[in-house]
Amino acid sequence: MLQKLILIALTAVLAACAGAPTEPVDPPEQRSPEDVKLTLNLPEEADNCICQSPEANDRTFLERGMETLADGEYIEAVQYFQRYQRLEQLPLAQWEGDLAIAYVSMLPSSPFFDVNAALRAYTDLQSREPEGQKHHSIVIMQQALESFVLMERHIWDLESRTDMLQEDLDKREQALKRLRELTLGQPED
């Protein structure tokens, strides 16, 4: 009996809800994308910050040139260095290519071997060395060229000293020759 009463009460409540007048619902207001403002939780940039994306260069041809150079293929290595310079327009890439070519010109077994050209090229490269992260092989080449230039200067100094000593020796021998002639009265053959 209790169950029938509960069932009748529920039916009455449902009938009352179903029969209640409904109010018309307005459609939601449409907003344009300009009305929406997103707030991101990012750190603020400083006023003096000039953010630039790092200029990266593709060193594929430079590295291929290094590998080819290690294999003793000097002409092909120089061609790779020149391709690297043609493809990469950054001042650092141009400088690295020039340094690699100067390095090849200081190698005695290279067909491009020219001591004076290597010295001039390295002197020029020192005066226009750009900022930036150099390739590790280029750093080693730069150090080798620096050692080469230093050794050439030492050789030049030694040759100059040798020439001076030879002149002094010649003068002394002539002085001894005259002294013999004066003291012994005989000319030396």
DSSP notation for 45-83: PPTT-----------HHHHHHHHHHHTT-HHHHHHHHHH
Domain count, the chain: 1
Q: What is the pLDDT of residues 63-110, one digit of tens each?
A: 999 999 999 999 999 999 999 999 988 999 999 999 999 999 999 999
DSSP state, 119?
H
Q: What is the pLDDT of residues 120-142, one digit of tens each?
A: 999 899 889 888 889 999 999 99
Residue 26 placed within a domain:
no
**Of 62, 131, 133, 52, whose CA–CA distance to 103 is shortest?**
62
16-19: long-range contacts, CB 8 A cutoff, minimum separation 24: none
Residue 95 placed within a domain:
yes
The pTM score is: 0.59
Range of the domain at 131: 60-164
Residue 153 placed within a domain:
yes
51, pLDDT greater than 60: no
What CATH number did the domain enclosing 153 receive?
A: 1.25.40
Residue 92 placed within a domain:
yes
